[in-house]
Amino acid sequence: MSAVVIIAVGSRGDVAPLTGVGVRLSQAGHQVTMVAYPPFGTMITDCGLRFRALPADLDPAAGGEVSPVKELAAFAAPAGMRALGSDIVAAVRDEPCDILLLSPFAELAGHALAEAKGVPALGVRLQPLSATATYPPAVLGAWSAGAAGNRLAADAGSWIVDRLYGGVVADLRRRLGLPNTSARALRAARTRAHWPILHGYSPAVAPRPADWRPGLEVTGYWWPAPTAGWLPPASLGEFLAAGSPPVFVGFGSMMTTPKRAAQLSELIGTAARTAGVRVIVQTGWTGLDIVDHDMLTIGDTPHDWLFPRVAAVAHHCGAGTTAAGLRAGVPTIALPAYGDGPFWANRLAALGVSAGTIAQRRLNAERLAAAMRTAVDEPDLRHRAHAVARTLSGEDGAGRVVSVVESLLGRST
């Protein structure tokens, strides 16, 4: 039995897909430990996986009126990454480990840990970040600067990351007793070695760029492990049974201020009344809350259970929510804000399954109501969404991860 450690840094959408990977690895006979923030411990252990907590806690309620942009900037600053690196080292340093699976924010510390432990490491990403002429890194949005400009954007981003976090990398390596090697030189060595990075989305949704280097692979989606014993609350079951399929609205782990949450809640309610549709609103980290006729506010609910029961899904286009909507075969209303949201909104439009893209800075009740009516009334949208869902059902992304992990383990013994 090999010991596999998955370091999943981020929100539920970053962690949940890797629970599915972890379960498949466990079923293949490996001991799997997931390292994540405390709110996701129960989700992980309910899957039968071991859990090690990072000491920091993701508590969107703690921020009050603090801007989410400032929260993210503090997390991504060198001091934030230094603290995260220390937390990862503390959680994993003495953990039995034959291979490390690293989500993007785990890579700074994870590379050094793998070297110190003398074990292989593997990148696991939910969006394309590597250099290509096809598009800039997904976290930069949906724009394109042309073939040369797109590659330049990725190369410049890598240079900035290495400069910004060079001291963090040096400190981590010093703590772990490793030679003093620059972050830039370490990246170049990984590129020459074709360091493997697996991408947990479908090539039918975002094809692998032809100019990607060897070692970069698009496997198909990694579906979250089923939630053992979950049953819907009575209020949700009764609401679904009481009328036509509703439109789901949610912003997942997108943080905002209480004032903005109240504005969004009012806007969604007005749009639903104007469109004449029933809605289910998921509170999420945004803090949405609507109380009205033909409207229901819910907490955490497995998307694989809920989405097949709704008429359409309106969301921020995070990677996980985008995947769940595609899997369910329902039309999407894309409401991206930042990060990779605009990228996935663009892919949904290209697939012909989007009733419209409304950037959140342009979101109002009139635009949302029009998109809701289109999503509910346009049969071609649903037909195309069903076709995409059929394609996804034939993929086995987690199975491919198991194959790559076992290949790397075989080489390291």
Burial 119-155 (b: 16+ CB within 10 A, else e): bbbbbbbbbbbbbbbbbbbbbbbbeeeeeeebbebbe
Q: Which residues contact 115 (CB under 8 A, 6 or more apart)?
A: 176, 178
Q: Which residues contact 113 (CB under 8 A, 6 or more apart)?
A: 88, 89, 92, 93, 100, 121, 176
Q: How far apart are CA 351 and CA 252, in angstroms?
A: 22
pLDDT at position 58:
58
pLDDT at position 289:
86
Report the sign of the C-alpha dihedral through residues 68, 73, 75, 76, in that order. Answer: positive
Q: Which residues contact 74 (CB under 8 A, 6 or more apart)?
A: 80
Q: How far apart are CA 46 and CA 59, in angstroms?
A: 21
Parts of the chain with a pLDDT under 50:
61, 63
* Two structure tokens written together for 13: 């959408």
* Two structure tokens written together for 191: 């590129």
pLDDT at position 293:
87
Architecture of the CATH domain 3-221+395-412: 3-Layer(aba) Sandwich (3.40)
CATH number for the segment(s) 234-393: 3.40.50.2000
Q: Which residues pair with 296 in a beta bridge?
A: 280
Alpha helices of 130-243 — where are they, by DSSP H?
A: 146-164, 166-175, 183-192, 234-241
> Do residues 51 and 39 touch, judged by C-beta distance below 8 A?
no
> Would residue 256 be called left, alpha or beta, if left means φ above 0 and alpha means ψ between -120 and 50 degrees?
beta
What is the number of residues in the chain? 413
Q: Which residues contact 98 (CB under 8 A, 6 or more apart)?
A: 2, 3, 4, 119, 409, 412
Domain residue extents for the chain:
3-221+395-412, 234-393
Q: How far apart are CA 32 and CA 27, in angstroms?
A: 10
Q: Which residues contact 389 (CB under 8 A, 6 or more apart)?
A: 326, 327, 328, 329
- Which helix or strand (DSSP H or E) is residue 332 part of? strand 332-334
With 0-12 / 13-18 / 19 or more C-beta atoms within 10 angstroms meaning exposed / middle / buried, residue 404 is middle
Burial 299-312 (b: 16+ CB within 10 A, else e): eebebeebbebbbb
DSSP classification of residue 142: S
Q: Are both 3-221+395-412 and 234-393 of the same fold?
A: yes
* Two structure tokens written together for 122: 């593997």
Tokens 């069903």, residue located = 386
Contacts 24+ apart (CB under 8 A), 374-382: 375/247, 375/311, 375/312, 375/314, 375/331, 375/332, 375/333, 376/247, 376/275, 376/277, 376/311, 376/312, 378/331, 380/352, 381/331, 381/352, 381/353, 381/354, 381/355, 382/329, 382/330, 382/331
Strand ranges of the sheet holding 354-357, from the earlier edge strand across to the other edge: 295-298, 279-282, 247-250, 312-315, 332-334, 354-357
pLDDT at position 75:
84
